[in-house]
Amino acid sequence: MFHAASFLLYIVINAYTPGPNNILSMSNAARCGLRKAFPFNLGIFSGLLIMMLLCALFSAALYTLTPQIALPMKFAGAAYMLYLAYKIYRNAVQVTDEGQHASFVSGMLLQFVNAKIIIYGVTAMSVYVAPYFSNPPTLAAFALGLALVCFSANMSWAVFGALFFKLFTQRQKLINSIMALLLVYCAVSLFL
């Protein structure tokens, strides 16, 4: 049975927590202004869409070729979510923008080396989507949805820039604790 609530919780937490895309979106908008940083965010979206489609293809192929992979993938996905919960609970938000430019190409290319996005896509597709959906249009719709949720997070970080960063740094322990607990719930719900 498709766990829609757990799936949505997982993708929103992953999309809105600090990562290279969100931190650089915020930093570029604070440094260059939202209008000049927008091409970078469009590049992020383009790269995200490509990566999510690749994750969908990989997960669908994996489930088609090896159906018995479902249980190990659930355990791997749950372990990754617990790891993320621990990292979110323990880590501080750090901003670095050395050498980063607010260009479309740099935003797009970032996705191909962004481990958070790759693992996000593979986990979402192989744990939540591939076990229940297999036709290409549906997989493409999920890939687009994953990319759009991330894009909305990137734009939120860009729009709120320093304000959003200030909120995370002032109430970091509380926010990280809540996000970590929600990820633990996502990991446990895979087996319910």
H or E element, residue 164: helix 136-170
- The band of 162, judged by pLDDT with boundaries at 50, 70 and 90, is low
- The band of 167, judged by pLDDT with boundaries at 50, 70 and 90, is low
**Between 30 and 56, the higher pLDDT residue:** 56
Q: What's the CA gap between 18 and 134, in Å, rounded?
A: 31
Q: Which range is least confidently modeled, 16-30, 47-61, 162-176? A: 162-176
The predicted-structure confidence for 44-91, as pLDDT tens digits, reads as follows 999 999 999 999 998 888 877 777 766 776 787 677 768 777 876 776
Question: What domain range is 171 assigned to?
Answer: 4-189
- Into how many domains does the chain fold? 1
- The band of 163, judged by pLDDT with boundaries at 50, 70 and 90, is low
Residue bearing tokens 């997989």: 139
The predicted-structure confidence for 90-124, as pLDDT tens digits, reads as follows 765 444 444 445 789 988 988 887 778 888 998 89
Sorted by sequence, the CB contacts under 8 Å of residue 61 that are 6+ apart come out as none
Residue 139 has pLDDT above 90, yes or no: yes
- Say if residues 51 and 112 touch (Cβ distance below 8 Å): yes
Position 174 scores a pLDDT of: 82
Alpha-helix runs per DSSP H in 4-113: 4-16, 20-32, 34-65, 70-90, 104-110
| 15's tokens | 């999309």
Amino acid letter, residue 150: C
Position 93 scores a pLDDT of: 46
